[in-house]
């Protein structure tokens, strides 16, 4: 997302974040429904707020509904990461996209994923965000 002053003064856009990079590390995560995104992000000391992050939502969906969920999420720019079988005959699904991460947009996306999962008889376990860094990056 380009800021108005960057467009006006011709600032160079950073390279897009490649979700398949091998140096991505978790810089923020929340698997507690009661915790606000703002709280999670405020303690995420390794998060570089002015740089794109790979936002991943961890869902469990009935296997026969996976394609429908992925199709709806794709309309908002999400792609499915590799899947694995989850407990209770639900399949684990990670929906991910690159974006600048702030509390408002993170909360909106979190709510969107909860609604999407519920409409397809699934659940959301939580979310995390990844950015390039070293293996010793602290959350």
Percent of the residues in the chain that have a pLDDT greater than 70, as a whole number: 81
Query: Is the residue at 29 inside a domain?
Result: yes
Q: What band does 37 get if pLDDT is binned at 50, 70 and 90?
A: very high
How much is the pLDDT for 136? 45
pLDDT digits (tens, 9 = 90+) for 70-96: 999 999 999 998 776 655 688 999 999
CA separation for the pair 127, 30 (Å, rounded): 5
CATH code: domain of residue 111: 3.30.70.970
Number of domains in the chain: 1
| Residue 135 or residue 124, greater confidence | 124
Query: Is the residue at 8 inside a domain?
Result: no
Q: Is the pLDDT of residue 27 over 70?
A: yes
Query: Is the residue at 7 inside a domain?
Result: no
Are 68 and 122 in contact by the 8 Å Cβ rule? The answer is no
Query: Is the residue at 101 inside a domain?
Result: yes
Which domain range does residue 51 map to?
A: 21-132
CA separation for the pair 57, 33 (Å, rounded): 13
Neighbouring C-beta atoms of residue 99, cutoff 10 Å: 17
Query: Is the residue at 39 inside a domain?
Result: yes
Query: Is the residue at 137 inside a domain?
Result: no
């Amino acid at each position: 997302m380009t800021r108005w002053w960057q467009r006006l003064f011709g600032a160079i856009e950073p390279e897009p974040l490649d979700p398949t990079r091998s140096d991505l590390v978790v810089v923020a995560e929340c698997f507690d429904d009661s915790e606000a995104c703002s709280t999670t992000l405020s303690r995420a000391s390794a998060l570089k707020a002015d740089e794109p992050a790979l936002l991943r939502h961890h869902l469990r969906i009935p296997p026969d509904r996976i394609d429908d969920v992925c199709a709806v999420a794709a309309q908002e720019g999400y792609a499915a990461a590799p899947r694995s079988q989850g407990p209770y005959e639900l399949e684990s699904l990670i929906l991910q996209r690159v974006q600048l991460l702030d509390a408002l947009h993170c909360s909106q996306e979190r709510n969107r994923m909860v609604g999407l999962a519920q409409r397809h008889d699934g659940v959301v376990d939580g979310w995390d965000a990844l950015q390039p860094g070293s293996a010793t990056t602290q959350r």
